A = this chain, B = another copy of it.
Amino acid sequence: MSSPKTIRRLEVVSPVPADINIANSVAPLHISEIAESLGLKPEHYDFYGKYKAKVLLSALDELEVSENGFYVVVGGITPTPLGEGKSTTTVGISQALGSFLDKKVVTCLRQPSQGPTFGIKGGAAGGGYSQVIPMDEFNLHLTGDIHAITAANNLLAAAIDTRIFHEASQSDKALFNRLCPANKEGKRSFADVMFRRLKKLGIPKTNPDDLTPEEVTRFARLDIDPDSITWRRVMDINDRFLRKITIGQGPEEKGMMRETGFDISVASEIMAVLALTTSLADMRERLGRMVIGNSKSGEPIMADDLGIGGALTVLMKDAIHPTLMQTLEGTPVLVHAGPFANIAHGNSSIVADNLALKLVGKGGFVVTEAGFGADIGTEKFMNIKCRYSGLTPQCAVIVATVRALKMHGGGPEVVAGKPLDHAYLNENVALVEAGCVNLARHISNTKMYGVKVVVAINKFATDSEAEMNAVRTAALASGAFDAVVCTHHAHGGKGAVDLGIAVQKACESNTQPLKFLYPLNVSIKEKIEAIAISYGAAGVEYSEQAEKQIEVYSKQGFSDLPICMAKTQYSFSHNPSQKGAPEGFVLPVRDVRASIGAGFIYPIVGSMSTMPGLPTRPCFFDIDVDFSTGKVLGLS
């Protein structure tokens, strides 16, 4: 049970004030109180200011004997561009369980990118009376993990171009002599990291002087094919002008120009590594085997070939510890990792979930959010994340709104920034009923993993009783364990008590093991096709480029990895305008890429933006500091 002294009762106001105003109206507890409520010893966490602490993975050593709590993943139906309140519901359930139902609970959330905070979207700490606080600290810098990722990602990028540059102007022997310089006594030695490359090359020697000239060449010359480089630079800013750039135009770079670009930092493979790693030693291995491109003869070139895996690990060694924060009602939150939900798997980290499950222990709850709709977020949570972690969820929540279901039933387009059509503001049960095909498919897909499905009907002020009943009826008919109306945005945990009870019952009644959608040891295409079928597709169509890449990765020995589909969240299909539950379409795979270090192959379906832009009037116009209180103004 939660330590009662951390519980905070909210005095809610109607209409619901702006998120930042609610967040600023509550004085957060010192984070040591939250840590104590979880039974954490002071040696197992490090403060970062008064309201954040990094929980050290060393805490796991002592907790190893404790039994895991229940594991709940929150997905959603196919959303409108306005979002259906998945983060808010994740926080709301947790507040209900911890603050009203007397359960030990930890919420596991992703760290948001800082870019959109200053662009269009605003923050990502939940909303209304279901938020993580302090909201500004959650949205800005946090404990520096994304900055560490940016640094590591770009150090690797600089190493790649500089290595090509130095290889271009040096003989094999000169290169080797620089890589393994003689010390004062004239003795050469390999750096530890070099033994990884030697091993890969099958050279079992330990003394540089013993290498044959042919081995010297193979060892020292990576011979990277510039056109094959997939590693891009990153920045945690919405900077569209960096999407495509030419580098190396300075006179000192001697004409070695190359087209490349920047992604937003959360799209870095290192973010996906952070989310999927299980320990510092495992992270070291994953960072070292990230593939940045190929040699001219087609061999994959890894970070460790560049001698940089250890340095990347050092840059990431603090980032591996999740950050403890709190909800508005004083329940604990672990914020960690924030991989993209298209080109990566869109979930918080394995280490955070692991830690949380041990901290809440038997009978406790860990509630974590999966990105995008359940077709992508929950699917990847199960087939990628749980496969790597070995953890088994008992319950999957699917967040549904009357608004989105009306859209799936044939309602007019919903566009961010434009007023909603009256169809969405007035009762229309028929539209809702028609749209429930979308919910139904998400329910049946999710049930296949062996979890109980609870539908959270996230109520808006304009929703009618009859509309919500229609959702509930459809959900139960589609095999949901339960479907519950919730009002945590307006009422905090109190508004999600029924939902919390349903989740608890679902967890307690589930005894099934986790079932995957596909085994790993089939071909890349068979795995892609299994996922496509779950979308409702009749088949898959591969571009020439996709065929080529599948062949390359299979030849390079990477075909046993799980698949991470990069697909729009706005439809089960590749076409965002196909609402409801489309069927019979052919899913076009435009390209296939790989995050070998993180551990997945990602087919590209449609076009993915990995670098957002700023609008004419970005959010930053409203953001400032109140010098009298030190508080941040204008965050949304």
Contact = CB atoms under 8 A, between A and B. Distances in A.
B247 A241 contact: yes
B614 A162 contact: yes
A246 B261 CA distance: 10
Interface string A293-313: 000000000000001111101
Given A141-B144, A162-B614, A250-B261, A625 B245 contact: no
Interface of A (DSSP majority class): mixed
Contacts of A632: 314, 317
Given A159-B618, A192-B624, A625-B284, A245 B240 contact: no
B253 A241 contact: yes
A623 B118 contact: no
Contacts of A258: 241
Interface residues of A, number: 88
A552 interface: no
A175, A181, A245, A259 interface centre (most CB from chain B within 10 Å): A245
A237 B166 contact: no
A215 interface: no
A240 B250 contact: yes
A235 interface: yes
Contact of A311 (B144, B170, B624): B624
Contact of A317 (B151, B242, B630): B630
A489 interface: no
A157 B438 CA distance: 42
A616 B141 contact: no
Copies of this chain, count: 2
A47, A251, A615 interface centre (most CB from chain B within 10 Å): A47
Interface string A155-180: 10111011001100010000100110
Contact of A162 (B148, B192, B240, B621): B240
A238 interface: yes
Given A311-B623, A314-B625, 14 more contacts: A46-B47, A144-B147, A157-B237, A157-B239, A158-B240, A159-B614, A178-B616, A194-B621, A233-B242, A244-B253, A284-B625, A308-B621, A311-B620, A317-B630
19 contacts: A118-B155, A118-B311, A144-B147, A158-B241, A162-B618, A166-B616, A178-B615, A178-B616, A191-B622, A240-B250, A241-B247, A241-B248, A241-B253, A252-B613, A280-B627, A281-B627, A310-B633, A314-B623, A317-B632
